Structure 1
Amino acid sequence: MSTGTHEYEDDPRNASILISVNGELVPRERATVSVFDAGFVLGDGIWEGLRVTEGGIAFLDAHLDRLFEGAKAIDMAVGLTRAELAERLFECLRANGMEDGVHVRLMVTRGVKRTPYQDPRVTIGPATIVIIPEFKLPRPEVVARGITLFTAHIRRTGPAEQDQKLNSHSKLNCILACIQAAKAGADEALMLDPAGFVATCNSTHFFIVRRGELWTSPPDYCLGGITRGNVLRAAREAGIPTFEKRFSNTDVYGADEAFVTGTFAGLVHVRSVDGRTIGWDEGREGAGPVTHALAAAYRRLVRNSLTAIPAAATRE
């Protein structure tokens, strides 16, 4: 079975976690939403994945910026202020005693509908807000070995179809690309833009290193990745020539290094694309020197970004 950057070790503690469903903390087996919920019926909602480490949430402000911007774009009221939503996150983490090695899925949908129909005007309640925290770390062997990619024929769409800047629940194009990659025996899919240039992967962002330069696609056909943005920042601060530009698979096949980025696993190197080995020194295995240096720089940025989980307020 192929593995990808989201492959993780099962943690028995997750069997007894409490999940926040509209502010109520409920056991995992009782965490449910209505079959009339817009997220279930239509994929009508937005979400964020967050990393908890060393007693804090990494890049929390950036994640909340993206979530609230996405909600505004689809004309959906979250129903909580940023501060209230952050406190709900903290409350859920405190209730589970979680401070490190945790991945959080924060989901907001348009809410319950009177009938299963797409028109938002048949929504009869407030937004549904679900927070699922899990003890979850990427498998060390996957990070060490790297991943393989397969170029899918499913394309990333532009804003005239479904704007890829939206971190929406509607991910069917990414799912289809993921399926195609898995059928081809690869870990993840490399997806192209409508003109055939490299865009991104089905669940991560894609970078290549060529002759000491770092390349990634422009943001036109991919999500505004928070890890992506921080890796670009780290590269520029390190003096690495960095370009957001269009490039093709030919450039990828001849790259010295390649890696993907995401909140869950950080940076993970790519060892092959479409069966072509990506080697940085006559085919040597493992992450190349630029990838290795950027992974270390990104970890430092994570530590410097942490919003500490505050203790519960005391009641007088």
Structure 2
Amino acid sequence: MTRTVYVNGDYLPEDEAKVSVFDRGFLFADAVYEVTSVLGGKLIDFDGHATRLARSLSELDMPNPIAKEDLLEVHRELVRANGIEDGLIYLQITRGAADRDFAFPEDPKPTIVLFTQSKPGLADNPMASTGMKVISIEDQRWGRRDIKTVQLLYPSMGKMMAKAAGAHDAWMVEDGEVTEGTSNNAYIVKNGRIITRHLGHEILHGITRKAVLRFAREAQMEVEERPFTIEEAQEADEAFITSASSFVMPVVEIDGKAIGTGKPGRTVARLREIYLDESRKTAV
């Protein structure tokens, strides 16, 4: 089945969708993106993703080509047109096409593209029961990781490093401290306390992160936002990641060393349950 995608105001079959070879997203990675999960045909935390999108665009001095209300309608139409029950919607906005020049064009005309991925049973990933293995790698990305840009080459390389090592993902380390995973925020649990790096330019301001920490505090769980080392993580009772596509996912091994019992723990299981329950209640 050919998917329906959205390109610059038009809904098109995916094999008819085109963007210019001069698009700055292609030439310079001059673009931002968002990924919104769909559960039961409804969008999870759309407001959070729309707010972060606006921030990313503002940080890059890039005009926003679509109003929030219209963007919501596009998401809903793609869910309907593609029959998405569980899955993901990817949104990418570039500065648009212009003659190749490092300087930004004076009158940019942004390109906006959205497409879907169907992921039946997205919330029932068996890895939630078995846990994932990660390795540590040096963080060699650019400094503004708080802007959700399409500059994803090094995270892709990190995924491949993990795969070559027989692991599922990599946690990146800078100045001896964990920043985040290749496509997720990283956490440990020690003596019932949830520990994750504080917000700054060093990490993405995760929408799922924000929701999970709020739900944790509402459930009277202790949260500490500070850096931690790989060695500290290896001595933790539990570890986990959060992202829009994985929700809350336990980590059971880091660099070959089992975390806690080597199996998913109760704190992470409870957080995943709370997050999915509460997110479904507010889905649109």
Q: Using structure 1 for the length normalisation, give the TM-score.
A: 0.84
Q: Structure 2: how far apart are the matches of 1:233 and 1:66? A: 17
* CA RMSD in angstroms, aligned pairs only: 1.8
Q: Structure 2: how far apart are the matches of 1:179 and 1:135? A: 24
Report the Cα offset of residue 142 of structure 1: 2.9
1:143 lines up with 2:128 in the alignment:
yes
Q: Structure 2: how far apart are the matches of 1:224 and 1:92? A: 26
1:167 aligns with 148
Instruction: State whether residues 151 and 274 of structure 1, in contact with CA within 8 Å, keep that contact through their aligned partners in structure 2.
Output: yes
Report the Cα offset of residue 20 of structure 1: 0.7
Trace 1:1-316 onto structure 2 (pairs within 5 A). 15-98=1-84, 100-113=85-98, 115-121=99-105, 126-137=109-120, 138=122, 140-155=125-140, 157=142, 162-193=143-174, 195-220=175-200, 221-280=202-261, 283=262, 285=263, 287-307=264-284
Paired residue total: 281
The answer for unaligned runs of 5 or more in structure 2 is none
Instruction: State whether residues 147 and 187 of structure 1, in contact with CA within 8 Å, keep that contact through their aligned partners in structure 2.
Output: yes
Q: Structure 1: how far apart are the matches of 2:207 and 2:165? A: 29
SS state at 2:105 partner: helix
SS state at 1:121 partner: coil
Instruction: State whether residues 217 and 223 of structure 2, in contact with CA within 8 Å, keep that contact through their aligned partners in structure 1.
Output: yes
- Cα shift readout 1:105-154 (whole Å, capped 9, x = no counterpart): 011111111x233221177x521111111211447333332211110023
1:9 aligns with none
- Cα shift readout 1:241-292 (whole Å, capped 9, x = no counterpart): 1101121111101011111111012111111000001124xx4x3x210011
What letter corresponds to residue 115 of structure 2 in structure 1?
A: I
- Cα shift readout 1:75-124 (whole Å, capped 9, x = no counterpart): 111222212222222222232233x20210011111111x233221177x
Instruction: State whether residues 47 and 67 of structure 1, in contact with CA within 8 Å, keep that contact through their aligned partners in structure 2.
Output: yes
Runs (4+) off by over 4 Å: none
- Cα shift readout 1:24-44 (whole Å, capped 9, x = no counterpart): 111222223221111111111
What letter corresponds to residue 127 of structure 2 in structure 1?
A: V
Report the Cα offset of residue 295 of structure 1: 0.5
What letter corresponds to residue 108 of structure 1 in structure 2?
A: I
Q: Structure 1: how far apart are the matches of 2:241 and 2:54? A: 26
Of 177-186 and 287-296, more deviation after overlay is shown by 177-186
What letter corresponds to residue 101 of structure 2 in structure 1?
A: Y
Instruction: State whether residues 153 and 177 of structure 1, in contact with CA within 8 Å, keep that contact through their aligned partners in structure 2.
Output: no
Report the Cα offset of residue 230 of structure 1: 1.1
Q: Structure 1: how far apart are the matches of 2:235 and 2:140? A: 22
The answer for unaligned runs of 5 or more in structure 1 is 1-14, 308-316
Instruction: State whether residues 154 and 176 of structure 1, in contact with CA within 8 Å, keep that contact through their aligned partners in structure 2.
Output: no
Identity %: 30
Q: Using structure 2 for the length normalisation, give the TM-score.
A: 0.93
Q: Structure 2: how far apart are the matches of 1:134 and 1:179? A: 22
